[in-house]
Amino acid sequence: MNERPGTRLTAARARWSGRGLRAALAGAVLLAVWTAPAVAQELAETDPPRPVAAADVPEDVVEWFLDAGSQVVTNQAIQVLGLSPEAAAAAELGLIRSVMTWSPSYIEATSLVEPVVPAERWIAPVMSPASDDGDADDEPEVEQTGSPEDSGDAESAAGLADERTVADPAESPDPATEEEEANPGEYLGMLHAERIDNGGIRLQSFVPGAAPARDLASLDSEAMLVFDEVLDAWFAIVDGEVQPADAVARESLAGSISLRDYQFFVAERYAADGDATAEGGEAASAEPAIWTAGILGSLLMLTAAIVWLRKGD
């Protein structure tokens, strides 16, 4: 039986189609094998994603920063910084850190076992997408103008420490005041949160300013952040060394110093502040007594005058 020419052509096409499919599959397999080492090397060289928060930050705090905190940042960027809604929505948080304070035993110079204690507060820098808190060395530094929590008393508090603790210049980071100013749009400010009595998290403050945000973002991710209440300044502890973390702290400490050596200055500073507070409290408590004595004296004089007048009549 003779086959039609069209039938033979269709069969030939089917055979060639099958061969083409097998060849394509074989080529894809070979390509995957050849490129696999390069892809693996590229993945290995890719930096891992940055951590959202330091290891000691509780999960509920992280959730607050990513949810309510992000909304606060957007609102503050519009209302305080004057950014457009689009630019404000693009603002992002840097590494969330726990805030520590000097422990009572460290302040009293009785022990070095636990130099700091948690303050139940947390902080994160706020940045525009253009900034990079992991490569701070590549960015121009800015002049530091004050504490991120400037209460207005920083200068008087700093005056309590007449000494300027000077460490080895070789260990000192370059002061930010000697660098060029940064683009203020890259670092926007700092977001502070605190735990309240019922266990929840709430906003403590949003502090605008590129300088304090840059200082915070440039710290090592493993550094412990310490707030000095007397100086109203930030310090960082890295490998047992105390380092200034803002402009106010740099006025008191140049470079780095061991926790053991720095304890003397902290104890002296807090003792002086305590004495000043006690003197102020004694003066304030004496005022009511003075007023009371004055009123009683006036009443006695008035009573005596009335009695004398009646006797005269």
Listed by start position, the domains of the chain span 59-270
pLDDT of the residue at 32 = 58
Contact 161, 268 (CB under 8 A): yes
The answer to whether residues 81 and 189 touch, using CB atoms and an 8 Å cutoff, is: yes
CA dihedral 298, 301, 303, 306 (to 10 degrees): -130
So what's the pLDDT on residue 11?
A: 54
Residues of the chain with pLDDT under 50: 9, 16, 131, 134-185, 283-285, 289-290
Please give the pLDDT value at position 21. Answer: 59
Distance in angstroms (rounded) separating the CA atoms of residues 183 and 175: 18
Structure tokens at 249: 């702290």
Write the CATH number of the domain with boundaries 59-270: 3.10.500
Distance in angstroms (rounded) separating the CA atoms of residues 12 and 8: 6
Residues of the chain by 3-state class (helix, strand, coil), percent to 5: 50, 20, 30
Task: Judge whether 89 and 76 are in contact, CB under 8 Å.
Answer: no
Give pLDDT, residue 186. 86
Q: Quick count: other Cβ atoms within 10 Å of Cβ 191?
A: 25
Alpha carbon distance 137, 56 (integer Å)? 25
Tokens standing for 72? 């606060």
Where helices occur in 116-195 by DSSP H, the ranges are 154-158
CB–CB of 276/161 below 8 Å? no
